[in-house]
Amino acid sequence: MTSEVRQQRSDKSLGLSKACEYCRTRKIRCDSQKPRCGSCVSQHRECVFKERTAKERPTLAALNSLRKEKKRLQEIIDGLKNSSHDAVVAGILASFPSSLDHQPTRTSPSNDMAVADIMTNIDPSLEHAQSSPHDSETDPDVSPFISVDEEGNLASFGPSSALQSPMCRPSTVPTVSEREHQRNSLIANAVITRQQEHALHSLQDLDGVPIELAIHLLNLHWNRQHHTFLLTYRPAIMRDLFYGGPYASRFLLNAIFACAAKFSQRPDVQEVAGDTATSGARWFRRCDQLLYEDKLLLNPSIPTVVGLALLGSTYNARGEISKGWLLMGYALRMVYDLGLHIERVATPESAEEAEIRRRVFWGVFVCDKLQSLYLGRPIAMRFADTHVLPDFLDGMEEGELWTPYIDPKMPDVEYELAFAGTPTRSVSCFQQLCSLSKIMEKVINNNYVIGATSEKARKGLRRIDDSLEKWMENLPKGLQIPLAEETMPHAPPSPNIFNIHAIYHTLVVLLHRPIIADGHLYAASDSPMSLLRCTIAARAITLTVRKFHASYSLRGAPYLIAYALYVACTIHVRNAAMFEQMTGQGEHCTLLSSSLYLLEQIGVPNPGVSRPTAIIRRLMATKGISLVQVDHNSYQLSQQETAMPENLLQVDNFMELDFPGSQTIANWLGDPQDPFRDDQLYGFMDTL
């Protein structure tokens, strides 16, 4: 074919294809006359021609290149199928850079406000301000502590392990927009799952428990124990209970039943009718049975970790110390075995798994610190050995209204609702508890470890005290409690907010208590001011728990409230003995009597509270201190106590209280029969 013929065909083809825009859009024949085609001339329309570049067809060279690429990839796949594990790992590692500089994704407050007002109190910068034990600006490289097994699954073996096959972590982290997408997706899924929970009513039973009773116990758990530690991720558990899935199991279900039973007043949850100490006994036995039959201690999983942590905490509250200690120990070991202590980059597909891993890790981390205080035993999980940010994306429960659970079968029990509800603040409150647990670890390491000395304690005291004060100063407004007000401004805070305030003031006492005259780290120069700090904090604990009791009921309070009250009582009984022993009445005696009454209320669902109560009563009897009459249903004790405790921090006010000097206290405590020397804040449950 000659070049002239090809040119003619090309020109003809170009001429036929160039219709005006009007004819082309309407798909009508156009004569392509320029400047105006015949159709546009006859209709008196504007005629527009646009030049278009013809699409290039793939060349033979491009097709051959793609065929070669396909063949090369197929050979790689075939080679991987026939290669050994070591060769596979070596090939994967070769494709990653030798070191990865991971910069944390920082988000502004405006970005974290994307999900309306429910995220108001969730602190998006909390993990960056407080996550590093060394105040480092960058996250540590955790890749040496992640291993990959023969099936390609990730495992937790450090660089010293003979089992490690090192694996680099991904080189990218979610962007701000991706993080917001994950947050919105989790919240939307939580809402949808909540709407579908009614499907459980269609079942006959849950592991042999009639469905009505099972729902009752689940509701108790979600209303009370759940919000304390956020160990149980409700959307995943409730979904997998009905449809089956990896985040619910028979063991976890029975652990929830066993732990929630103490909050129920139904006689059918008790082994012996009328004996609350036997509540949940059959489910405790069922958990023991499942642990043995299913060999759960040999096959770690997230539901098993959660179930063990719940049981460990509950056994401690029941006074079964050894069993609680051992079960919690298994949970802590499983956290490391599953690698929950190391942050993994979440993808949209794994956002739920990442959320669950974070919540389970921090829930167990907090339980470990509290158990260390209860039993006076070393902590098992150090923050320096972990790398998980308290960055919880699912904020559905943040703005959800909380009301006390009322059993439909016993609607007149305990109290009636005096308000429509109060924001739960579940996520932001738990974030603050995570922050407190890190300070808790510092207090334990500073004052309550073998080898702690007065000199070391005094060096760390100011630094830790500053951390506590900073925590309180930065507390979001929605999590604050006005102790000085006679009445609540609107609705009282949710119980989990009372919890963190009680723990905060408890840590103040634990930090300063060893420094005063009869403390095991006594320092003469700091003793008077530390005694003042303990007195103020103890008063705040009692007032906080009184508001808890007056707002709701201590029938559903967690065991940590009992420990806080015990710590407060150890200060009240000292002050009453020093200042009010002759008169038998006054502020300290009133605070002591009120605290003991509140301890007895918590002892109904928590039999283990009888131990600290007995310790305090023994101290009172030895010093001849008697209980006084107190109106336990009011927020305040008297007009005298309505002043904010912070007002007493002035040195002049302190001197007006006529506290004895350190030498006077030492002389007064010189009696070898002095019972206060046996008083234990750290490990009080092993005292009797």
Q: Region 631-637: what's the mean pLDDT?
A: 56
Judged against a pLDDT cut of 70, whether residue 640 lies above it is answered with no
One domain for residues 461 and 564: yes
Residue 270's DSSP bridge partners are 279
User: Is 679 inside any structural domain?
Assistant: yes
Are residue 436 and residue 380 in the same domain, yes or no?
no
Domain membership of residue 160 (yes or no) is: no
Q: What's the pLDDT at 560?
A: 94
**Identity (one letter) of the amino acid at 631?**
D
CATH number at residue 10: 4.10.240
Residues 50, 24 contacting (CB under 8 angstroms): no
130 vs 289: which has the higher pLDDT: 289
Residues ≥6 apart with Cβ < 8 Å to 646: 536
Lowest mean pLDDT among 330-334, 420-424, 509-513: 420-424
Burial category of 477 from C-beta neighbours within 10 Å (exposed 0-12, middle 13-18, buried 19 and up): exposed
Q: Identify whether 376 is part of a domain.
A: yes
Determine what percent of the chain is predicted with pLDDT higher than 90. 42
pLDDT, tens digit (0-9, with 9 covering 90-100), for 510-540:
999 888 755 545 455 456 788 889 999 999 9
The number of folded domains in the chain is 3
Residue reference for tokens 């470990």: 368
pTM above 0.85, yes or no: no
> 3-state SS of 457-476?
HHHHHHHHHHHHHHHHHCCC
631 & 523 share domain: yes
- Asked if residue 100 belongs to a domain, the reply is no
Is residue 358 located within the same domain as residue 507? no
101-119: pLDDT as tens digits: 333 333 333 334 334 444 5
Give yes or no for a contact between 328 and 309, defined as CB atoms under 8 angstroms apart: yes
Higher pLDDT: 3 or 309? It is 309
Classify residue 624: in a domain, yes or no.
yes
Q: First CA to last CA across the chain, in angstroms?
A: 109
Q: 446 and 343, same structural domain?
A: no
Three-state secondary structure call for residue 270: strand
Cα–Cα distance for residue pair 469/467, rounded to 1 Å: 6
Q: Which residue has the higher pLDDT, 445 or 518?
A: 445
Q: What's the pLDDT at 472?
A: 95
The CA–CA distances, whole Å, from 325 to 252, 335, 520, 687 equal 18, 15, 25, 16
Backbone phi, psi, residue 227, to 5°: -75, -15
Question: What mean pLDDT, rounded, does the chain reach?
Answer: 78
pLDDT, tens digit, for every residue of 153-185? 555 545 554 444 454 444 456 678 888 888 999
At residue 146, the pLDDT reads 53
Please tell me whether residues 376 and 505 are part of one structural domain. no
- The pLDDT-based confidence of 318 (bands split at 50, 70, 90) is very high
- Are 448 and 355 in a shared domain? no
Nearest Cα to Cα of residue 325 among 344, 307, 311 = 311
Q: Which residues contact 538 (CB under 8 A, 6 or more apart)?
A: 505, 509, 567, 568, 569, 570, 571, 572, 591
Q: 291 in a domain, yes or no? A: yes
Read out DSSP for 527-585? HHHHHHHHHHHHHHHHHHHHHHHHHS-GGG--HHHHHHHHHHHHHHHHHHHHHSTTTS-
Amino acid at 528: P
CB 498 within 8 A of CB 481: yes
Query: pLDDT band at residue 434, thresholds of 50, 70 and 90?
Result: very high
> What is the rounded distance in angstroms from the CA atom of residue 582 to the CA atom of residue 148?
70
Eight-class DSSP state of 272: S
Average pLDDT over residues 558-571: 94
Q: Are residues 382 and 434 in the same domain?
A: no
**Side-chain-side CA neighbours of residue 241 (13 Å):** 30
Residue 31, domain extent = 3-43
Q: Is residue 410 part of a domain?
A: no
* Pairwise pLDDT comparison (178 vs 135), residue with the higher score: 178
* In the predicted structure, residue 577 carries a pLDDT above the cut 50: yes
Check whether 213 has a pLDDT greater than 70. Answer: yes
Of 344, 377, 394, the one marking the end of a domain is: 394
| Whether residue 322 sits in one domain with residue 248 | yes
Please check the confidence at residue 664 and state whether its pLDDT lies above 50: no
Q: Out of 29-43, 51-65, 358-372, 549-563, give the one with best mean pLDDT.
A: 358-372
Q: What is the pLDDT of residue 192?
A: 93
Pair 516, 527: CB distance under 8 Å: yes
Closest CA to 381 of 334, 419, 417, 420: 334
Which whole number is the average pLDDT over 226-249? 95
Q: Are residues 349 and 454 in the same domain?
A: no
What is the SS3 assignment for 36? coil
- Alpha carbon dihedral 22, 24, 27, 28, in 10-degree steps, equals 60
Q: Which two tokens stand for residue 622?
A: 């030895």
